[in-house]
Structure 1
């Protein structure tokens, strides 16, 4: 029989989605499953975006330009300008989700066996994207005890080799909710300039920052024009995960010209989704104010309830809508599967994401889970109550 590729064999399963069959079986048993495993907000998509698709006047659903429609990119540039980020529309390539933007970035700046340094835990798909691109992730570990703050710059410098091409951060972070400060961005800027590396920032959660602090983009940092690459997306910003529209943004013309070749190879981003995403740029600020207020309430309820559980440690996020919780178990993956297979409390159970998939270092995060607080406050309280009751009876 023909064999599967080594790359395909190494490709990791999604820690977010691989327990889905167990959740489906729990549903078949009549149990209510509270889904805390995936960042799919229950916030309504702005009606202006949905209406734009309903009332479009297209006669032919044609290809767009490979880099995305020019008028749309001009409006994206205006969006960035309104957020104190100055870029030209020619600095932007519209992609099929932030995932494709990251793949284009990897393909444009790294060759086989090159290395990229990423503070971990990190978005699980960074592992998959790296394997797909035949590059090596070099992790620098952040810790729940200091709320997953940026590790000391000395720790980064220890890891830099002739194969190192970039540092990648997610800001605010998935899965930790950690928000990098202006000072931390400046430290990273110093190290990439010193060692002639790219700095990639996944900024898809830019709108969701809390407690009176503001987001500082790497594109706002002077002197990073040749080094900075931003990954962005409409998925979370407008609760439009299914649109699959993202952006790659860089003032480095060579990066954009190279990424455009990858964009041309896949032809174009989806036309109808661009229509919806372009309309979404007209969403009023009041929408984001209300969404942020809702997420703060959910975060505070979640953290408060988790802290009541004996033996549970939780980091308080300053952005996005995720947190990492450390449980008094040996294997969070076994616990997560057991919750769906064997446990119910008042006919309820919970689906969480084991955190091992958000690390690349073996043996780290074994007793941690990622929780997405994308459900309403009452649902979050019920879900945490289920976890608390489960921990009382669970045996490793």
Structure 2
């Protein structure tokens, strides 16, 4: 009755538990959201001032490429950070998500392949399904701090169907910041095998250890690198849905423009606000945000390390981390924690990590945490997680004991495992 594409898509693990969250909030429970990259940082006032001062009499369509003020603001932004992109190389999109979807649709025929490095941003799966393409995964390992594999391991996954690599730098969900050696290696492979690199750089400012290096800085890669960008995280403006796709490859961008024209344009008012923040937000704002996230990273990492059985690597960038929990199934635990547990009227919303892997046996006991809350809330959230893990293990042990003693009909309620 419905398409195979849509029926094959599962719910996003990032938002899957939203109905449970809403119910808990209605019941009066406070929920700390570590499941989604929604910062609590204040959006620059320049965004709202520009929208409030909008004085056109008609809210009309804009150019499919984006309004001139925004394209010029992006050009100035890239020039300031040393990236050679002009407004002719750019198209404004409805968030970074549409930019990725446009890239996949432009590069691939149905049945073609995109190589990703797992764990990777789970929504890439949906964009791939929409385009009718296959995501081919190469595993990166926490014990190697999620470093890219060796050349021969990467090349072993390349087939005559492979069209591109897709990578996020800094990484969502691992926080990996790729080194010059890793970037040069992937670019070398792409040139040798005539492949594109779709690189999601929306977290480029958020680097705490190491140095951010853009794939676009590699000489000879100008026509192979496709940049995905967004104002969502940089300026805490997720709801604005203003993204960007950019490339020096004129033929690629001409084809992308067809898709942009089909959806007419990005929202006018949000483009006005985005242009204002890009042009007028001070460096002090960005620097203070980076300092704040570094402190949040250190806080949550240091506290997670103290929980018995928890394994985590310190992320170098972005604001995510993959955390291995002392449970058999992180999805079941995350649902239980949100739905049935609270400590003093508070609980935590996690994001199970298995959907960030294409390899089915991986990530089952992991979650992705987003450290986007202020420090005091992160401390409370980790404390609840710690207590919740203990209560969950206690509840499972009691259930097992009941099963062994063959006492049917015994149901554990919240009071039996609350601590």
State the TM bucket, normalised to the shorter chain. Answer: over 0.9
Secondary structure of the residue aligned to 1:394 is helix
1:291-317 CA-partner distances (Å, limit 9, x unpaired): 011001100000000000011001111
Match of 1:134 among 123, 132, 135: 132
Secondary structure of the residue aligned to 1:129 is helix
Partner of 1:114: 112
Secondary structure of the residue aligned to 1:159 is coil
* Aligned mates of 2:188, 2:196 — CA distance in 1: 11
Deviation at 1:12, TM superposition (A): 2.2
Match of 1:105 among 103, 106, 115: 103
* Aligned mates of 1:240, 1:146 — CA distance in 2: 33
Partner of 1:244: 241
Match status 1:274 vs 2:271:
yes
Deviation at 1:377, TM superposition (A): 0.7
Match status 1:260 vs 2:257:
yes
Deviation at 1:152, TM superposition (A): 1.7
Partner of 2:168: 170
Partner of 2:215: 218
**Number of paired residues?**
393
Quick check: 1:11–1:132 contact (8 Å CA) kept in 2? no
* Aligned mates of 2:53, 2:25 — CA distance in 1: 37
1:4-43 CA-partner distances (Å, limit 9, x unpaired): 1110111121000001111122222321111100000000
Alignment of 1:186-197 (within 5 A): 186-197=184-195
Secondary structure of the residue aligned to 1:95 is strand
* Aligned mates of 2:10, 2:184 — CA distance in 1: 33
Match status 1:30 vs 2:28:
yes
What runs of 5+ residues in structure 2 fail to find an aligned partner?
Answer: 397-419
TM-score normalised by the chain length of structure 2: 0.92
* Aligned mates of 1:193, 1:74 — CA distance in 2: 31
Divergent runs of 4+, >3 A: none
1:50-84 CA-partner distances (Å, limit 9, x unpaired): 11000111111111101111232122111101011
Deviation at 1:169, TM superposition (A): 0.4
Larger Rg: 2
Quick check: 1:166–1:200 contact (8 Å CA) kept in 2? yes
Alignment of 1:1-396 (within 5 A): 3-211=1-209, 213-281=210-278, 282-395=280-393
Quick check: 2:177–2:211 contact (8 Å CA) kept in 1? no
